[in-house]
Structure 1
Amino acid sequence: MLKIRIKSFSELTTKELYKILQLRSEVFVVEQNCVYQDIDAKDQKALHVIGLKKDKIIAYTRVFKPGDYFTEASIGRVLVKQNERKYNYGHQIVEASINTINTNFNETTIKISAQTYLKKFYESHGFQKVGEEYLEDNIPHIAMIKT
């Protein structure tokens, strides 16, 4: 079971921010072999949902209130450290993110830009595909909405 911490950007310690950015780079840049601008000036607007195991960050998302990323509330940068994925922590961090949006923003409609291969994963959390597949940073994505 993950220990979940929710923090605003200003509440993150320098060490936590470094670990988060390191993990995002490890997953999205190195593992997925995708050169893109991860540090996008949106972290300051987000709530950071941090999944800890034995006090180490192994799962993460950032969530936004409506209007800060999409018109709807949203979840992004969803990740679990590669050697921890077999424990289904992805489901726990997504559920924690949905609950964070419900609790902090009083919102139930959530939009995500999901990597296409994760469609069934997100459908298991109540998201439904909207629109056509598109490329984002040369990776196939789909828009999905949960209401």
Structure 2
Amino acid sequence: MNIYVDADACPVKDIIIAEARAENIPVILVKSFNHYSLEDQPPGVETIYVDTGADAADYRIMQLADAHDLIVTQDYGLAALGLAKNCTVLHHNGFVYSNKNIEPLLSSRHAQAKMRRSGQKTKGPKLFTDEDRERFRGALREVLES
């Protein structure tokens, strides 16, 4: 198993790296060149940079991921692609995407985008809390132990 992280806006990279290192599982952080960093990563962690295009990180992750790999993303489109490839997909808030919940999530995303295009205001994401971090850690451990 490898863990692929849609890393540009992922607030739980530190948790992923710590938990993966404890299990000796490779982590691949996929970021756009807009988030380039000279920061050294610990052993077992690789950073791949992609163009700044809207879905460049998603496409790269899907090129690399195999069935039974883990993908961490908040992007519902990438989650749907990962599920179709038989990957386990986690949201950084700690919920596991599934074939049962992805369709309503995609429909909601489409409706929100349609509202924004028509000029309506929509709510942004809730603030990320310590509770969210711990919920993610628990979900990640559960996936890694299964």
For normalisation by structure 1, the TM-score amounts to: 0.31
For normalisation by structure 2, the TM-score amounts to: 0.31
Bigger Rg, structure 1 or 2: 2
Of Structure 1 and Structure 2, the greater strand share is in 1
